[in-house]
Amino acid sequence: MASPRPGSNMSAIAAALGVSAATVSNALSGKGRVSPELIEKVRAKASELGYVPSLTARALRTGRTGVLGLVLPDIANPLFPQIAQAIENAASNAGYGVLIADSRGDIAKQTEAIGRLLERGVDGMVIVPRRGTRIADIGCPVAVIDTPSTPGNTVSADHWEGGAQMGRHLVSLGHRKVLLIGTSAFSNVQNDRIGGLKAGLGPDVECDTMWIEKVEAVSGEGCPLGLADKARAGFTAFAAVSDLSALRALTELQRAGIGVPEMVSVAGFDDLIWSPVVTPALTTVRMDMATIADLAIAALIRAIEEEGDEEEALAGNVTSETDRVPMQLIVRQSTGAPHAGGAPNLHARTPNKPTAGEVTS
Amino acid sequence: MASPRPGSNMSAIAAALGVSAATVSNALSGKGRVSPELIEKVRAKASELGYVPSLTARALRTGRTGVLGLVLPDIANPLFPQIAQAIENAASNAGYGVLIADSRGDIAKQTEAIGRLLERGVDGMVIVPRRGTRIADIGCPVAVIDTPSTPGNTVSADHWEGGAQMGRHLVSLGHRKVLLIGTSAFSNVQNDRIGGLKAGLGPDVECDTMWIEKVEAVSGEGCPLGLADKARAGFTAFAAVSDLSALRALTELQRAGIGVPEMVSVAGFDDLIWSPVVTPALTTVRMDMATIADLAIAALIRAIEEEGDEEEALAGNVTSETDRVPMQLIVRQSTGAPHAGGAPNLHARTPNKPTAGEVTS
DNA sequence: TATGCGTGCTTAAACGTTTAATCAGAGACT
DNA sequence: AGTCTCTGATTAAACGTTTAAGCACGCATA
């Protein structure tokens, strides 16, 4: 059913009121010239008949479907729920529907997914590109959410600044030797975060970067990262560029009997769902997805409307804005002052209850 | 743009070939009577002109949009990526698009979300209902994914049997006192899993159930669950009904210096993204989302087509099938034989490297 | 009194399909 | 030779909306 339940369309209203369908259309849209009284009567009749406009017919006539596409690099990404939720919310507030498309790994699938969305006539799309992908001009307005340093980016969190916040936090706690942990050296987002971290830590802090993909290429997926050794080598803080890696670090260290945070500190990014409930709760940096989504959708809609007006105004991506949305440092229990003595004691303390309470800055 | 780029429609092809538009339609759909040679010519011309059918126009004419709705209880659910990915994949293989809708918590929003999808003219919808929600007849085919014991369920994992597998696994390791951990006592899925666990553990095992929502109602969100005390009280295994809770248990126990798995075992459900990479890697029970999605989509499409044929055939949900898809136990490092002695030693051992390797059964 | 204009509505076309109904022609049968 | 049937196409309507163009009327202006 293109339009739900009843056979209630504009003609039905028009017939019931003895006017023409065009008048009903004008009355409901407020576009043509219709007397106020008639407008009221049309409205009343419409709701009486339970009229629901056929978006399909409207789409056919206007060339606008009122649907946006959401293309994700890998739907299995734990950040996906946050993104999808924020985008869906922003879009539906603006009166748009959201069609999803999964890139499922490779770039070919990403292109294919974009093609499917185009066939369905989306008015525009929000793309969270795969690592290092550059989105070509695909013939409809596109908002790219990646990182400000990516060319073509429309709006995103200020990952660099978020990293800097975390760096400053760690240095203020007294850490002087920090291991930065990323997964892929080809991710713009991760590189920005790491760049910010280094800047925030400043010149007096010794730091090293570990790329998990490289380690796994040698030792296999899910292999131990050897963080206990790193701790023994004097690293007092482990700053991962994602909470997933932070969690991996946390559990590996705990398992090795190294107490967090009293021996070493662990921090992450993204405030993923488990971050507040693990013990110790993870210190992390959070993106303001709601704002990012609002900006992305707003930019997209602006471009869609301009496209209609000027016809061939700006062809490609919505690059006008390139907003960077601040990130928020959330300090929880997994970071603290570094262990006072030399090499950390490898036996964890055994508290009856971990400390509770959460501090947000 | 309802149909992408060029002004290439059926009339264009028809004009180029000197035939009527109807013939082009018939040729491409293979429905009417068209000579094989002409069919070939039409095909050739179509691809030459880069013809892409307007799904909007087709939808208007046929009353089918080719779009399915996906309604989720809470998009922030960590299981969501798996579900969305599987549904999107199954739907797009069947030639359907997927429109998402977030219930965002309360039931009112769920109804509202369903309404939005109906307005957009979805042909059917897949609903993963909120806890305890009963989906009313909403006037379009619906496939419900919940649990076999939910009335109206269409297809789902066999949560009970999955719980039983886990129970048998734990009992075979020698556990005789097990704490079952769920979040909400009102979740059908969780109750089924717990029922299965109890059955699998059998009558000789003492077990107790902890509902996290209840604990948090008293002590606040993210509070410690007091599992160390439970361990001291003789529980040797903690079987959570979700990997999120399992992770919470794991870190809380580790933090308290209780080694997993040599002191106590921890297990979860769903094989969420972090489960293989934490240390120790989590033993869990996995749903076959791909199969579930395939069955749900297949049932839905069948209902959509029947609706077209018989008109008022089966009005409500797609309850005909109620398939239950087996779950798969994945044994990793977080479960093992219970500690031999009496009260567990509260100091964790300090291995250089956690054991690696993964066993699947 | 004729001209002009603003108002409130109608008519009609259009968007791109699908599909029922129709029709011309050819070959086969009686 | 006339009728029937089958084939391969065409014509036209329909889906429900939007919107440009047109029309009739009343009122003010010249």
- Note the pLDDT of residue A308: 61
Of A342 and B188, which is predicted with more confidence? B188
- Note the pLDDT of residue B361: 44
Q: Does position A321 have pLDDT exceeding 80, yes or no?
A: no
Residue A39 and residue A95 in contact, taking contact as beta carbons nearer than 8 Å: no
Query: Cβ neighbours of residue A47 under 8 Å, at least 6 residues apart?
Result: none
Find the Å distance, CA of residue A59 to C1' of nucleotide C14. 13
Burial class (CB in 10 A: 0-12, 13-18, 19+), A310: exposed
Cα gap B244→B246, rounded to integer Å = 5
- Note the pLDDT of residue A356: 38
Average pLDDT over residues A115-139: 85
If DSSP codes are grouped into helix, strand and coil, which group holds residue A49? helix
Residue among B140, B132, B63, B130 nearest B103 (CA): B130
DSSP symbol at B283: B
Nucleic strand D near CB of residue B136 (< 7 Å): no
Distance in Å, alpha carbon of B117 to nearest chain A alpha carbon: 8
The identity of residue A270, as a single letter, is D
- Note the pLDDT of residue A1: 37
Give the other-Cβ count within 10 Å of A47's Cβ: 9
Q: Under the phi-then-psi rule, with left for phi > 0, alpha for psi from -120 to 50, and beta for the rest, what region is A54?
A: beta
> Cβ of B248 and A277 within 8 Å?
yes
Which residues sit opposite A179 in a β-bridge? A208, A238
- Note the pLDDT of residue B352: 35
Q: Does position B170 have pLDDT exceeding 60, yes or no?
A: yes
> Cβ of B78 and A81 within 8 Å?
yes
Cα gap A251→A173, rounded to integer Å = 22
Nucleotide nearest to B37 (CA to C1'): D8
pLDDT in tens, A39-89: 999 999 999 999 999 999 999 999 999 999 999 877 667 888 889 999 999
Residue A106 and residue A77 in contact, taking contact as beta carbons nearer than 8 Å: no
Nucleic strand C near CB of residue A20 (< 7 Å): yes
If DSSP codes are grouped into helix, strand and coil, which group holds residue A240? strand
Cα angle at B109 between B108 and B113, to 5 degrees? 125
Q: Supply the Cα-derived Rg of chain B in whole angstroms.
A: 26
% of chain B exceeding 90 in pLDDT: 72
Cα gap B281→A222, rounded to integer Å = 9
Find the Å distance, CA of residue A123 to C1' of nucleotide D23. 37
Nucleic strand D near CB of residue B61 (< 7 Å): yes
Average pLDDT over residues B244-248: 98
The band of B104, judged by pLDDT with boundaries at 50, 70 and 90, is confident
pLDDT in tens, B182-241: 999 999 999 999 999 999 999 999 999 999 999 999 999 999 999 999 999 999 999 999
Q: Does position B55 have pLDDT exceeding 80, yes or no?
A: yes
Query: Cβ neighbours of residue A40 under 8 Å, at least 6 residues apart?
Result: none
Cα gap A92→A99, rounded to integer Å = 12
**Residues shown for chain B:** 361
Q: Taking CB atoms and an 8 Å cutoff, what residues of chain B touch A92?
A: 101, 116
Q: Does position B336 have pLDDT exceeding 90, yes or no?
A: yes
- Note the pLDDT of residue A171: 98
pLDDT in tens, B76-97: 678 888 899 999 999 999 999 9
Q: Taking CB atoms and an 8 Å cutoff, what residues of chain A touch B226?
A: 353
- Report the residue of chain A nearest B81, measured CA to CA: A76
Q: Under the phi-then-psi rule, with left for phi > 0, alpha for psi from -120 to 50, and beta for the rest, what region is B322?
A: left
If DSSP codes are grouped into helix, strand and coil, which group holds residue B324? strand
Which residues sit opposite B211 in a β-bridge? B182
> Cβ of B1 and A353 within 8 Å?
no
Cα gap B92→B105, rounded to integer Å = 28
Q: Does position B302 have pLDDT exceeding 60, yes or no?
A: yes
- Note the pLDDT of residue A120: 94
pLDDT in tens, A147-164: 998 888 889 999 999 999
Find the Å distance, CA of residue A35 to C1' of nucleotide D30. 30
Q: Which nucleotides of C are covered by protein (CB under 7 A)?
A: 7-21
The band of B313, judged by pLDDT with boundaries at 50, 70 and 90, is very low
The band of A339, judged by pLDDT with boundaries at 50, 70 and 90, is confident
**Residues shown for chain A:** 361
Q: Which nucleotides of D are covered by protein (CB under 7 A)?
A: 7-21
- Note the pLDDT of residue B339: 77
Longest CA–CA span in chain A (Å) reads 91
Nucleic strand D near CB of residue B23 (< 7 Å): yes
Nucleic strand C near CB of residue A19 (< 7 Å): yes
